[in-house]
């Protein structure tokens, strides 16, 4: 009896302790989520005030006041003057304390490396660019990237305050592990621990993503139409063709990180055009920059395009940009070539619009330069082949982000979004900063060093 009673008592006690722990965990989860929501709202809109925050994050006034006070004492947000009064005392405007730390963005493209350092508001303070060949492999390219980062940090003079690093590469990335997986144009990079290498070197959490996702993220964070749209499809058409998806204001990567990788989908018009991925008939192989260069060269060789023939005679080559320049001079063959590319891209976009029903489609990459010759054809293909309901609220625009800064801007915002997300914030808030804690980028707490 006695033993039984004790046992029953212990079980009840255990249950009570369990409930208390559960309650404590729930409260702390709510607290962190509230802190992250307030922080995100302050980060993403200028001149945020406490009354607006209350509407924005859907928490009560006193809870918002508490979270704001907590973030202020943690040194993450601060006063930024007073907002407009709505009758009573003018509300304080809040801003992220941008100067509290730095984030590093690294944009690796096929032929170019851009490294930028930004403050915690995502404002680029400086960027350096260098020509690289991604085919030289990860060690050569990342050694160059590290040299540029070191130069930057030295010029700023605050090496210890790197809070986070975002990196983009021109190939498929497994987001969870921060590794490229079987990237078609990046020999030697398959499963290379890009994220972990930079995280360890700078003692800061790092994240790796593919370049198109980062362009979509840059668009989302810098284009007011994109942040208002919530459901955005971003397509980059350049040498590579790919898409990035934003769902309800957040980048959607799919199960493994490859969502939006549409460049290597076979299309009926693809025929036997050989693609750099090794397959034939890919969208990229017939509508991307390589196709423009190849077909443009053919038009020059056969003299169907006098403008491109002149370019070839002068420079010995035909680049995608030369096709656009020839079209601008009124060359009919070059115009027809751009129209064909636009038609093929538009066909793919019609499928994506039907599948996903975005309210904003942004087109970026080298194609932006050819806007006058492609936008109407892309629109036409989308509207002709999509259901009216799918396009009734659809806005289509060309990206206005500068070509050389889009990737690095996205990389910086990747680092900021991740480091301020509820799950990560919970892991560093008590320490005051994520600097010196590279392991918080990984999902597995066990990887934390003793």
Chain residues that interact with Zn ion, rule: CB under 5 A:
264, 275, 277, 279, 282
Q: Considering beta carbons, is residue 282 or 411 the nearer one to Zn ion?
A: 282
Q: Considering beta carbons, is residue 66 or 280 the nearer one to Zn ion?
A: 280
Rounded CA-CA distance 211/110 in Å is 10
Shortest distance, position 281 Cβ to Zn ion, whole Å: 8
Q: Considering beta carbons, is residue 286 or 367 the nearer one to Zn ion?
A: 286
Q: Considering beta carbons, is residue 264 or 413 the nearer one to Zn ion?
A: 264
Structure tokens at 100: 């509290």
Shortest distance, position 121 Cβ to Zn ion, whole Å: 39
Measured N-to-C along each axis, helices 332-356 and 320-328 cross at an angle, to the nearest 10 degrees, of: 110
Q: What are phi and psi of 87, to 5 degrees?
A: 120, -60
Q: Considering beta carbons, is residue 258 or 279 the nearer one to Zn ion?
A: 279
Rounded CA-CA distance 132/112 in Å is 5
Shortest distance, position 178 Cβ to Zn ion, whole Å: 24
Shortest distance, position 230 Cβ to Zn ion, whole Å: 31
Shortest distance, position 200 Cβ to Zn ion, whole Å: 34
Shortest distance, position 179 Cβ to Zn ion, whole Å: 21
Handedness of CA 204, 207, 212, 215 (dihedral sign): negative
Q: Considering beta carbons, is residue 277 or 310 the nearer one to Zn ion?
A: 277
Using the structure block, give the residue that is written with the tokens 């070197």: 201
Q: Considering beta carbons, is residue 311 or 341 the nearer one to Zn ion?
A: 341
Angle at 54 between CA 52 and CA 56, to 5 degrees: 65
Strand 162-169: give its sheet, edge to edge: 124-131, 112-119, 102-108, 162-169, 206-210
How far CA 249 is from CA of 220, 221, 358, 417, in Å, comes to 8, 10, 11, 12
Shortest distance, position 279 Cβ to Zn ion, whole Å: 5
Q: Considering beta carbons, is residue 27 or 274 the nearer one to Zn ion?
A: 274
Which residues does 258 contact at the CB level (< 8 Å), separation at least 6? 172
Q: Considering beta carbons, is residue 66 or 279 the nearer one to Zn ion?
A: 279
* E strand intervals along 179-283: 179-180, 206-210, 232-237, 241-247, 250-252
Closest to 180 measured CA to CA, from 279, 81, 108, 73: 108
How far CA 285 is from CA of 278, 279, 282, 343, in Å, comes to 10, 9, 5, 14
* 140-148 own/partner pairs: CB under 8 Å, 24+ apart: 141/108, 141/113, 142/194, 142/197, 142/198, 144/113, 145/106, 145/108, 145/113, 145/115, 145/198, 146/198, 146/201, 148/113, 148/115
Task: Indicate the DSSP class of residue 209.
Answer: E
Q: Considering beta carbons, is residue 162 or 169 the nearer one to Zn ion?
A: 169
Shortest distance, position 252 Cβ to Zn ion, whole Å: 22
Shortest distance, position 275 Cβ to Zn ion, whole Å: 3
Shortest distance, position 276 Cβ to Zn ion, whole Å: 7
Rounded CA-CA distance 184/378 in Å is 27
Closest to 215 measured CA to CA, from 402, 375, 356, 419: 402
């Amino acid at each position: 009896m006695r033993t039984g009673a004790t046992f029953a008592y212990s079980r009840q006690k255990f249950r009570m302790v369990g409930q208390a722990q559960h309650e404590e965990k729930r409260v702390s989860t709510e607290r962190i989520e509230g802190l992250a929501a307030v922080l995100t709202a302050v980060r993403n809109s200028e001149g945020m005030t406490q009354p607006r925050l209350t509407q924005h994050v859907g928490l009560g006034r006193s809870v918002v006041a508490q979270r704001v006070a907590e973030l202020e004492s943690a040194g993450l947000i601060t006063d930024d003057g007073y907002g407009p009064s709505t009758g009573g005392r003018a509300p304080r405007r809040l801003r992220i304390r941008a100067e509290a730390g730095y984030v590093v963005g690294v944009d690796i493209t096929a032929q170019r490396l851009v490294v930028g350092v930004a403050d915690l508001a995502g404002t680029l303070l400086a960027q350096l660019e260098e020509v690289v060949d991604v085919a030289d492999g990860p060690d050569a390219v990342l050694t160059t990237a590290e040299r540029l980062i070191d130069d930057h940090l030295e010029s700023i003079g605050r090496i210890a305050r790197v809070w986070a690093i975002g990196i983009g590469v021109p190939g498929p990335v497994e987001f969870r592990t921060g590794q490229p997986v079987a990237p078609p144009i990046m020999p030697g990079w398959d499963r290379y621990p890009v994220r972990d290498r930079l995280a360890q070197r700078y003692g800061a959490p790092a994240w790796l993503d593919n370049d198109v996702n980062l362009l979509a993220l840059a668009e989302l964070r810098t284009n007011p139409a994109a942040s208002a749209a919530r459901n955005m499809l971003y397509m980059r058409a350049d040498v590579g063709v790919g898409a990035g998806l934003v769902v309800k204001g957040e980048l959607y990567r799919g199960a493994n990180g490859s969502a939006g990788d549409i460049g290597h989908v076979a299309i009926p018009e693809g025929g036997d055009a050989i693609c750099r991925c090794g397959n034939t008939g890919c969208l990229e192989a017939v509508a991307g920059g390589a196709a423009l260069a190849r077909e443009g060269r053919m038009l020059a060789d056969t003299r169907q395009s006098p403008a491109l023939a002149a370019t070839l005679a002068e420079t010995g080559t035909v680049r995608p940009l030369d096709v656009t320049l020839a079209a601008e001079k009124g060359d009919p063959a070059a115009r027809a070539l751009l129209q064909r590319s636009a038609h093929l891209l538009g066909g793919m976009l019609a499928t994506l619009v039907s599948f996903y029903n975005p309210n904003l489609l942004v087109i970026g990459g080298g194609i932006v330069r050819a806007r006058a010759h492609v936008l109407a054809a892309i629109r036409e293909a989308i509207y002709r082949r999509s259901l009216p309901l799918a396009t009734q609220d659809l806005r289509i625009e060309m990206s206005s982000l500068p070509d050389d800064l889009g990737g690095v801007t996205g990389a910086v915002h990747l680092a900021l979004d991740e480091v301020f997300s509820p799950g990560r914030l919970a892991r560093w808030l008590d320490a005051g900063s994520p600097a010196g804690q590279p392991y918080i980028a990984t999902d597995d707490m066990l990887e934390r060093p003793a």
